[in-house]
Amino acid sequence: MKRIEKVIVKPTYSPEYPVIIGEDVLDNACDIVENEIKAPVDKVVIFVQEPVNKLDIFTRLVESFREKYPTYIVEVPSGEVAKSLDFVLKYVRYLHEIQATRATLIVGVGGGALGDLVGFLSSIYLRGLPLVLVPTTLLSMVDSSIGGKNAVNLFEIKNVLGTFYQPKLVLEDLRFIDSLPERELRSGLAEVVKYGITINPTIVKIVESDVDKIFEKDRDTLISLVKLSVECKAWIVHLDEREERDVRQILNYGHTVGHGIEASARGALTHGECVMIGMIVESDLGIRLGYTDRSVWEKLVEISSKTGLPSRIPRFVEKKEVLRKIEYDKKRVGGLIKLPIVRRLGEFEILKMDVSKLISYLDNILEEYYERQG
């Protein structure tokens, strides 16, 4: 019997919904949708990211729906290019042309960018269409597909237009991991580690003990890690769906510094690689501020070594630019910034810190984390 796990997400305000995790989930996608959503469907529109549309597993998903409903396929370019208002308006016109109604089911198959696009589109068309997300990367399985945050870019401003709009169902088929390049798998693993450091240390133990199995793409190990990670994200979304209580800020652990590095690296580093460096630097900052136990930093450095995730910043990333990006981080409110801090494994708090003080500390700390020359 193939292993199937189920996590129920209970957002603070929105209706609860299930996340189905396991093997061969998509072969019976239509039946699962009907059993879990229990609402009338007149047609299905599947938005799929290239090159996922070429995979056999995607074909099975489509066949599952076509047996019962008129099914339309919309192929979306991969990456951030489709996360724009131009693409949103293009697909609004398409939905109008095929006479989509509030009973039209939107299915998004892809990574985080695709989820952002279809989540935003579903939230605004006819004031809301039912949405099913099918994440295809480890990163999107444990993070972006859960929680209802959707956004697109405009005027070269990242995520400036957005909504909170929860899916009705999330289907996570671990067969997609089989097609992931190792670097992308490793990148997603950084977000898994984040949950272990901030919320559930059991995750850290599994990553340490089963790192070889993870990169061998052992299904049972990956299902366990994904389930535990989804449970962490679901817990946060239950407490603070719309970022009103600061609790959800813990999901940004490692991201204050990480986003600064990522933006300055201009695509040369993955999101997960930057977050891993960010967590190490921010744990060091926490030690110097007197909040973080040194064991947190030591554990992160150890995991970095075991997983092959970086612990140092490449020399081509300019420190001044990193600091400038951090200075105008989205978590800034006036002269203060909300900074997630881990005291010990599984224990966190949100610190409100003066931005100028943070920049002063990081100006010194970051230099110690650049790759050594020669």
Q: What is the DSSP string of 117-133?
A: HHHHHHHHGGG---EEE
Give residue 372's pLDDT: 83
Same domain flag for 154 and 237 = no
- How far apart CA 41 and CA 120 sit, in angstroms, is 20
Give residue 332's pLDDT: 86
Helix residue ranges, H only, 240-351: 255-265, 271-289, 294-307, 319-327
> Three-state DSSP class for 164?
strand
Domain presence at residue 185? no
**CATH number, domain containing residue 168:** 3.40.50.1970
Domain range spanning residue 358? 193-367
Active site residue 248: yes
Tens of pLDDT, residues 120-133: 999 999 999 999 99
Same domain flag for 67 and 201 = no
Same domain flag for 225 and 346 = yes
Active site residue 96: no
Domain presence at residue 151? yes
Domain presence at residue 372? no
Active site residue 149: yes
Give residue 45's pLDDT: 98
Q: What is the dihedral of CA 361, 335, 318, 116, to 10 degrees?
A: 120
Same domain flag for 205 and 155 = no
Same domain flag for 252 and 165 = no
Q: Name the catalytic one among 255, 299, 331, 338.
A: 255
Domain boundary residue among 154, 179, 204? 179
Active site residue 252: yes
Domain presence at residue 150? yes
Domain count, the chain: 2
Q: Name the catalytic one among 127, 156, 364, 372.
A: 127
pTM for the model: 0.96
For residues 304-330, average pLDDT = 95
The mean pLDDT value of the chain amounts to 96
> Three-state DSSP class for 147?
coil
Domain presence at residue 188? no
Q: Name the catalytic one among 5, 36, 243, 349.
A: 243
Active site residue 159: no
Asked if the model's pLDDT at residue 333 lies above 90, the reply is: no
Give residue 1's pLDDT: 64
Return the structure tokens found at 209.
Answer: 């003990």
- How far apart CA 151 and CA 181 sit, in angstroms, is 26
CB proximity list for 73: less than 8 A, separation 6 or greater? 46, 48, 53, 62
Active site residue 243: yes
172 closest CA partner among 130, 238, 226, 129:
226
Same domain flag for 257 and 280 = yes
Long-range contacts, stretch 30-37, CB < 8 angstroms, 24+ apart: 30/64, 30/65, 30/67, 30/68, 30/69, 31/64, 32/169, 32/171, 33/105, 33/132, 33/169, 36/168, 36/169, 37/105, 37/130, 37/132, 37/168, 37/169
Asked if the model's pLDDT at residue 261 lies above 80, the reply is: yes
For residues 53-80, average pLDDT = 96
Tens of pLDDT, residues 204-223: 999 999 999 999 999 999 99
For residues 305-313, average pLDDT = 97
Q: Name the catalytic one among 271, 319, 331, 338.
A: 271
Q: Name the catalytic one among 83, 186, 194, 259.
A: 259
Asked if the model's pLDDT at residue 157 lies above 90, the reply is: no
Q: Name the catalytic one among 83, 168, 194, 233.
A: 233
Same domain flag for 9 and 39 = yes
